Amino acid sequence: MKRRKRTAVIRCAGGGAVRPPQAGGESADCAARMTLPPGEGGCGEGCLGGGSCLAVCPREAISFRENGSAAVDREKCIGCGKCVRVCPRGLIALVPAENTIQPLCSSTLPGRETRLACGAGCIGCGICERACPAGAIRVEENRAVIDQEKCIACGMCAAKCPRGVIHDANGIISDV
């Protein structure tokens, strides 16, 4: 059986005021940032912006968005999994490269709390579930989760998501 190419997905779009690493100041290590008190507002379950994933990526496939969260360049990613192992919040997953539809939120907070903490977080409304013709997406622990084996990449969940949490890598995933 031929092994399918995999790519990393960072399940945080960074709408919760991520602080990017700063030269000479804050630690650029995500594990160290886990020990710091939470900042004003922001998501307590999202990307720490410390750059640990960036530091271990052998292909420079990870960069930071303007909002401070990490993003993966799917063309450069070789699916080695080093970033997955180093993320202290478990926000990074390896998925089959052909699976382009992905929810970019890992928050388990109830909808109201997520809405207050993050402008790009899943509120668990279930609209995506109802829109999916393949039954591939469901809400678990207040967040959208896709069954990678069932997804047919139609994009209906992404089109219907009122918060813009679900993205299509062939369209807007890298521009979050």
The answer to whether position 40 is within a domain reads: yes
The answer to whether position 43 is within a domain reads: yes
Residue 103 pairs with which residues in a beta bridge?
A: 166
Q: How far apart are CA 159 and CA 19, in angstroms?
A: 29
Domain of 164, in residue numbers: 6-175
Q: Please state the rounded mean pLDDT for residues 137-151.
A: 96
Which pLDDT score is estimated for 35? 79
pLDDT digit string (tens) for 57-104?
A: 999 999 988 887 899 999 999 999 999 999 999 999 999 999 999 999
The answer to whether position 170 is within a domain reads: yes
How crowded is residue 54: how many other Cβ atoms within 10 Å of its Cβ?
19
The answer to whether position 1 is within a domain reads: no
The answer to whether position 139 is within a domain reads: yes
Domain of 124: which CATH number? 3.30.70.20
Structure tokens at 81: 């999994």
The answer to whether position 117 is within a domain reads: yes
The answer to whether position 17 is within a domain reads: yes
Structure tokens at 135: 């039954």
Number of domains present in the structure of the chain: 1
Q: Please state the rounded mean pLDDT for residues 105-113.
A: 93
The answer to whether position 111 is within a domain reads: yes
Q: Is the pLDDT of residue 120 over 50?
A: yes
pLDDT digit string (tens) for 12-52?
A: 988 765 555 444 455 558 888 887 765 555 688 888 888 99
Q: Write the DSSP assignment of 14-30 as a string of letters.
A: -TTTPPPP-TTSS-S-H
Q: How far apart are CA 21 and CA 131, in angstroms?
A: 38
Give which of 164, 173, 158 is closest to 128, Cα–Cα: 158
Q: How far apart are CA 149 and CA 165, in angstroms?
A: 20
